[in-house]
């Protein structure tokens, strides 16, 4: 499944410019240290964090995209930095729990 497929299937809103990537698993965490220690290349990162430090963390682990849940507003400086590095930031009003349920129903599981 690609990030483009997820946007359509899960009703996500893209907030940045990026090339579609293959999604290979999911990590759900609001702690950058957890993501840096546990994410695998190609993972979709689900979080409520919106500060610009999420961009270098996603870049470090080669995340396929960051999904901001809970309808949180993403600051412009975060979006600008993500655009500079072609990091996909997607958005949803769903809670992290609800989104994970949808992703699981679509057959996307952590590997």
Minimal CA–CA distance to 34: which of 25, 24, 46? 46
Q: Where are the domains positioned within the chain?
A: 3-105
Q: What is the pLDDT of residue 109?
A: 74
As a whole number of angstroms, the distance between CA 111 and CA 75 comes to 31
The string of pLDDT tens digits covering residues 21-79 is: 999 999 999 999 999 999 999 999 999 999 999 999 999 999 999 999 999 999 999 99
Q: What is the pLDDT of residue 111?
A: 54
Residue 81 Cα to chain centre, angstroms? 15
Task: Assess if CATH 3.40.50.300 describes domain 3-105.
Answer: no
The string of pLDDT tens digits covering residues 66-94 is: 999 999 999 999 999 999 999 999 999 99
Q: What is the pTM of this model?
A: 0.95
Q: What is the four-CA torsion angle of 53, 15, 94, 57, rounded to 10 degrees?
A: -20
As a whole number of angstroms, the distance between CA 100 and CA 79 comes to 23
Q: What is the pLDDT of residue 84?
A: 97
| pLDDT band at residue 110 under the 50/70/90 scheme | low
């Amino acid at each position: 499944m690609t990030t483009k497929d997820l946007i359509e299937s899960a009703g996500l809103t893209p907030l940045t410019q990026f090339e579609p990537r293959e999604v290979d698993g999911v990590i759900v965490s609001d702690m950058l240290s957890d993501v840096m220690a546990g994410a695998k290349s190609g993972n979709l990162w689900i979080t409520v964090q919106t500060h610009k430090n999420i961009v270098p963390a996603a870049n470090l682990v080669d995340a396929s995209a960051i999904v901001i849940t809970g309808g949180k507003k993403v600051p412009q400086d975060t979006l600008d930095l993500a655009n500079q590095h072609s990091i996909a930031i997607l958005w949803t009003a769903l809670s992290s729990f609800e989104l994970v349920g949808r992703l699981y129903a679509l057959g996307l599981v952590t590997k």
